[in-house]
Amino acid sequence: MDARQAVRLLKGVRAAALAGDPPPAAPRPEIAESWRRMLAGGVHPDRDARSRVLSAAETEERRRLSPLREVLPVLREGLLPSLDDSLHIMVVADADGRLLWREGHRSILRKADRLGFAVGADWDEAVVGTNGVGTALVARRPVQVFSAEHFVSSHHDWTCAGAPVRDPRDGRLLGVVDVSGPLATMHPATLAWVSSVARLAERELRLRHLESLERLRAVAAPLLARLPGPAVAVDPHGWTAAVTGLVPADRVPLPKPLGPGRVFVPQLGECVAEPLPGGWLLRVARTRAHPAATRVVLDLSRPGAWSATVYGAAGSWSQELSPRHAELLFLLAESPRGRTAAELAAELFGDPSRTVTVRAELSRVRRRLGGVLTHRPYRFAQDVEVELIRPEEPAALLPHSTAPAVIRARLVGAGSGVIP
């Protein structure tokens, strides 16, 4: 059967399903299940419904938070080289069905725009009907949707193949990678191709997880060796990197929010939490004594050699700072009550609208410095003591910086001190 015959047959199958009549052929099980959901949910078969498209700032925020961001190079390497020749596009959506990235043949991208298949759009199955993104999310398995297998008739000129991408640590659904194109570009091997690339992305996530635990272990091991009591080093999600005096567990459920100081951890009881680069040190509390405060020394005294050193009861560790991160930490050290993203954007760029850049940079800073920073607003955590060391000459304070707030600080020539 050629493609045109297949399309005619599928349209007859869909028409029969909508009318409740016996179909000329049985739809594939995953398509039949999706159609039943569409009929039960009241999705209109001939009306192209669309929900609100995310703003650029909302899309960027979702991109920043999505673990799929880390595997974009794997997806691009596995899919993009063949897309131009096959007249397809690659789409990456999050677990809500929001399209976050889209690349491929330019003419196909323009056709996708007319269909509403654009970055920021919602391709949840309950919104746009049976499709390679939304249906793969519901079915939680790879799905190919060909022509009239799409529940909504305006999509019948398209074919798509989507495969879920899961977090290899716990199986959590992260999103979908999808390859779509006009009907004539359909190939039966597309689904297997997309599925194999999705598995490569999951393997990459697994390797990155193991590498991050190894980096955390390298920092935590000498600290744990000096501790007299039980303790565990975990990443921000509770995955264990190193342990002493305890039965090892793969993962420790962490309280939210988690900050420096005394906390209750269900598996461990009362603990003292100290930030580490890429995670936390949890010391099981044996007494009711108040824990030693975490202290951060922000050293900006040597141009081009800025650093942040974190001191806790178990020891200390340091992190070199980029020019941008040095600026941000300086501003936060000068603002113990905290700053919103808009306030920081105004202080850095003189433009309060540049919040996306600020949030992205602060996300990187928080990953490097662990739990010494909090947000909403951005600030050093309540139990963290901050010492700011300035250069002797006010003009040498972050001399590269053109941030309005830093320029003002140079002019004022304020001394260094401790921020309570």
- With tokens 């264990």, the residue in question is 240
Question: Under 8 Å CB-to-CB from 205, ≥6 apart: which residues?
Answer: 67, 70, 71, 167, 168
With a CB cutoff of 8 Å and minimum separation 6, the contacts of 130 are 31, 34, 35, 38, 145, 149, 150, 151, 152
Q: Is the separation of the CB atoms in 329 and 348 below 8 Å?
A: no
**Do 235 and 285 contact (CB within 8 A), yes or no?**
no
In this prediction, residue 293 carries a pLDDT of: 63
Query: In which residue are the tokens 């020019």 written?
Result: 323
**Cβ–Cβ under 8 Å, residues 150 and 129:** yes
Fold match between domain 3-207 and domain 294-419: no
What CA–CA distance (Å, rounded) separates 144 from 92? 15
pLDDT, residue 34, reads 95
| CA 404-323-394 angle, 5° bins | 55
Which of 151, 8, 179, 210 minimizes the C-alpha distance to 81? Answer: 179
- Identify the residue whose tokens are 């419904």: 49
pLDDT value at position 313? 66
CB 172 within 8 Å of CB 155: no
Residue 352 vs residues 121, 167, 245, 346, 413: alpha-carbon distances, Å:
26, 35, 49, 4, 25
Beta carbons of 347 and 354 less than 8 angstroms apart: no
Residue 231's pLDDT is 93
Helix axes 404-412, 341-349, angle to 10 degrees: 70
Domain spans in the chain, listed from the N-terminal domain onward? 3-207, 227-284, 294-419
Going from the C-alpha of 189 to that of each of 3, 167, 194, 345, 351, the distances in angstroms are 15, 25, 9, 48, 50
Grouping H, G, I as helix, E, B as strand and the rest as coil, residue 47 is coil
Instruction: Report yes or no: 310 and 295 within 8 Å, Cβ to Cβ.
Output: yes
Say if strands 384-389 and 294-299 run parallel, antiparallel, or are unpaired: parallel
Cis amide leading into 377 (omega within 30): yes
CA distances from 151 to 38, 126, 210, 260, 409 (A): 8, 11, 42, 52, 61
Count of residues for the chain?
A: 420
pTM of the model: 0.70
CA angle 304–307–309, rounded 5-degree value:
170
Tell which CATH classification among 1.10.287, 1.10.1670, 3.40.50, 1.10.10 matches the domain 294-419.
Answer: 1.10.10
Do 182 and 157 form a contact (C-beta atoms < 8 A)?
Answer: yes
Architecture of the domain made up of 3-207:
2-Layer Sandwich (3.30)
Measured CA to CA in angstroms, residue 16 lies from 20, 65, 267 at distances of: 6, 43, 56
Q: Token pair for residue 263? A: 């906390």
CA distance 258 to 254: 7
pLDDT in tens, the chain (420 residues): 567 778 888 888 999 888 888 888 999 999 999 999 999 999 999 988 888 899 999 999 999 999 999 999 999 999 998 887 778 999 999 999 999 999 998 899 999 999 999 999 999 999 999 999 999 999 999 999 999 999 999 999 999 999 999 999 888 999 999 999 988 777 778 999 999 999 999 999 999 999 999 999 999 999 998 888 899 999 999 999 999 988 778 888 888 888 888 888 877 888 999 999 889 999 998 644 444 567 889 999 888 889 988 887 666 778 888 889 999 999 999 888 899 999 999 999 999 998 888 888 888 887 777 678 888 899 988 778 899 999 988 888 998 889 999 999 888 865 444 333
**pLDDT at site 288:** 45
Radius of gyration over alpha carbons of the chain, in Å? 26
Q: Is 16 exposed, middle or buried (0-12, 13-18, 19+ CB in 10 A)?
A: middle
**In the block, which residue shows the tokens 């590498």?**
211
Residue carrying the six token digits 């700053």: 339
